[in-house]
Structure 1
Amino acid sequence: MTDPSPEIALGLAALGRPSYINLGRDGVHRSPDELRALAHATLDAAWAAGVRRFDAARSYGRAEEFLGSWFAAHPDHRADATVSSKWGYRYTADWDPDAAVHEVKEHTLAHFRSQWAESLDALGSAPELYQVHSLTTDSPLFTDQALLAALAATAAEHGTRPGFSTSGADQADAVRRGLDLEVDGERLFTAVQSTWNLLEPSVGDALRAAHDDGVLVLVKEGVANGRLVVDPPAAVVAVARRHGVGPDAVALAGILAQPWADVVLSGAADPDQLRANLAATGLELTDEERTALAGIAETPTGYWTRRGALPWV
């Protein structure tokens, strides 16, 4: 029996706040009302294209609010949609594109409780998946038994799946350690959302093992925060020309080809970007193309150093 095709989801990181680490964005810093309209238009385009999964976070500015207001305008959509969100980062820029700090991370019980309440209020209902945002191996969460118990209890009470996202050069270790956590003898997290793309595939083995163990695997930052679109390597350009698609579609097709990927996020910043991303679903890479694309991978340390230097635009 073969695994079902991966599901495309729309991630709202670039649609909920005026600045994000996303090269290729148009650079226009919109007002909340303008960005709400753009978010709704992109959500409309996603729904029309068959996308039924949407991903947000407390730190994505007003992304949860925009998604919740879109559902309020389309109440028939909510039952057919799957919503994931994240807690752990707090948005601090207050809509200032030149802010010195855009978000602050805090993995504590008090922060979880306050952000869970905020997510419920903004979304209008409990998300199907609620994730620890950017779990790294140095997070205090690993030894905070009260927090772990609260995560399990909240998930059970609201029927929400608990998960976590990862970032950084030690993602693979974070994935393995996170999935080893238990509460009352039961695995706590049953979903993981990690960065995997043609430039940074190092977490692949850990995600494959997680998928084979029944964990839901979501993949984020598939176009490497725009790097694979703005300045794509020659191998990506060659495949894109051969298939008549953009480099973004090639990058996402590389993820869709992974048998362990259950959900692949598009981080589109507008409807046109979304439609370009969705061309990946009809693109089948040859073995020769996949080999060529595998050759562009960077070292994890090099990749994350470059990512850390990208501007908020």
Structure 2
Amino acid sequence: MWLAGEVELRTLGRSGCAVSALALGTMTFGAETDEAGAHEQLDVFTEAGGTLVDTADVYSAGASEEIVGRWLAARPADVRDRVVLATKGRFPMGEDANALGTSRRHLRRALDDSLSRLGVDHVDLYQLHAWDPLTPLEETLRFLDDAVRAGKVGYPGLSNFTGWQVQRAVDVAEREHLAVPVTLQPSYSLLVRGIEAEIVPACRYNGLGLLPWGPLGGGWLSGKYTRDQRPEGATRLGEDPGRGMEAYDRVAARARTWDVLEAVQDVAEARGATMPQVALAWLLARPAVSSVILGARTTDQLRGNLGAAGLALSAEETARLDAVSDPAEPDYPYGEVGTEQRSRDLAG
């Protein structure tokens, strides 16, 4: 691992491609963040040493990719060359029955349309945005391999796959001598650790780098929600109370949520850091993480989150956060009995 600017660099999974340990997610571009604000975020991110920019065709119905494309076109060659560009395809981009999924027919058009909106002839990472139960995996992986061979895609990646789906994708690609996925983009945070049971082990075993999205738990780990007051004002839920309040109430009802927030706040106050910085620092230190995706509505939020790049938690702080965020003991085969059955050492 080494540094570029302020942000640490790591390899993109088992590939040789170097990326910043903090990535810029662009889901807000064209929706909650206008073009001027988006371009300002991109400038701040790259000036801090950030390189990995992640988007998707479905973000703002293609507007996010267009905004990123116009930013790239207006920047000097040396800035463009430093950007490692990632996008995704799978979700609906029209009403036609073939305007979604991971079939060769849809992905061929989706990739070409993404390249056109981004104004580039290739992307470094092209990710399947989710599993498609209707398309044979061989068909999907052969398309990705063809795209790599054609120079339109540097590496294939996955997003929102389960553990068995990750393993199946790797097995099929290796068996058929196709380009093997190098990354998985899952939801992962101090409040969402379910992927540690099967998905993280599958990725570590196969050398896939994790690109966690939602690292602040949908805003919970930013510190803007309190136990005694429902959202209002300058938060997504406060500005639109009808949006997501059912999900808010579900998360708020868990005692573990508030225990995690209290622990994060304590660590942040003791370190002179912010709660988001602590939550991001914890995630950056998890096994197999290549880059954590930051999604910000404003440039000030992005600047604050980038501060996590210089924060290393102590063993004691990490242990406290691990313990308080540990999800409830899962049932067999993931619990104590199942773990004992799968364990083995040289002593027998």
TM-score > 0.5 by shorter chain: yes
The aligned counterpart of 1:70 is: 71
The aligned counterpart of 1:55 is: 54
**Local SS of the residue matching 1:43:** helix
Aligned pairs for 1:212-231 within 5 A: 213-229=206-222, 230-231=224-225
**TM superposition shift of 1:187:** 5.3
Q: Distance in 1 between matches of 2:139 and 2:206?
A: 26
**TM superposition shift of 1:75:** 3.5
Q: Distance in 1 between matches of 2:176 and 2:109?
A: 24
Say which of 168, 176, 193 aligns to 2:185: 193
The aligned counterpart of 1:113 is: 108
Task: Report the TM-score when normalising by structure 2.
Answer: 0.70
Say which of 189, 201, 207 aligns to 2:200: 207
Deviations 1:3-46 (A, max 9, x none): 9656111010122324xxxxxxxxxxx7xxxx111110111111
**TM superposition shift of 1:217:** 2.6
Q: Distance in 1 between matches of 2:277 and 2:81?
A: 29
Give me the identity figure in percent.
29
Task: Report the TM-score when normalising by structure 1.
Answer: 0.77
Seen in structure 2, the aligned counterparts of structure 1 residues 275 and 75 have a Cα distance that, compared at 3 Å, is same
**Local SS of the residue matching 1:198:** coil
Counterpart of 1:50, as a letter, is: G
Give the greater-gyration-radius structure (CA): 2
Say which of 144, 152, 163 aligns to 1:172: 163
Q: Distance in 2 between matches of 1:177 and 1:252?
A: 30
| Alignment length (residue pairs) | 270
Deviations 1:41-66 (A, max 9, x none): 11111111111110000011111111
Pick 1 or 2: higher relative contact order, CA cutoff 8 A, min separation 6.
1
Aligned pairs for 1:214-253 within 5 A: 214-229=207-222, 230-231=224-225, 233-253=261-281
Q: Is the 8 A contact 1:39 1:66 kept in 2?
A: yes
Seen in structure 2, the aligned counterparts of structure 1 residues 300 and 150 have a Cα distance that, compared at 3 Å, is farther
Q: Distance in 1 between matches of 2:142 and 2:201?
A: 27
Q: Distance in 2 between matches of 1:219 and 1:155?
A: 24
Q: Distance in 2 between matches of 1:186 and 1:57?
A: 23
**TM superposition shift of 1:214:** 3.1
Q: Distance in 2 between matches of 1:175 and 1:228?
A: 28
Deviations 1:123-157 (A, max 9, x none): 1111100000023xx6334x253333112101221
**Local SS of the residue matching 1:261:** coil
Q: Distance in 1 between matches of 2:314 and 2:41?
A: 31
Unaligned runs of 5+ in 2: 3-7, 11-19, 226-257, 331-348
**TM superposition shift of 1:237:** 0.9
Seen in structure 2, the aligned counterparts of structure 1 residues 59 and 4 have a Cα distance that, compared at 3 Å, is closer
The aligned counterpart of 2:126 is: 130
Q: Distance in 1 between matches of 2:71 and 2:328?
A: 40
Q: Is the 8 A contact 1:107 1:139 kept in 2?
A: no
Quote the RMSD (CA, aligned, Å). 2.8
Q: Distance in 2 between matches of 1:268 and 1:118?
A: 25
Say which of 247, 257, 269 aligns to 2:297: 269
Seen in structure 2, the aligned counterparts of structure 1 residues 176 and 196 have a Cα distance that, compared at 3 Å, is farther
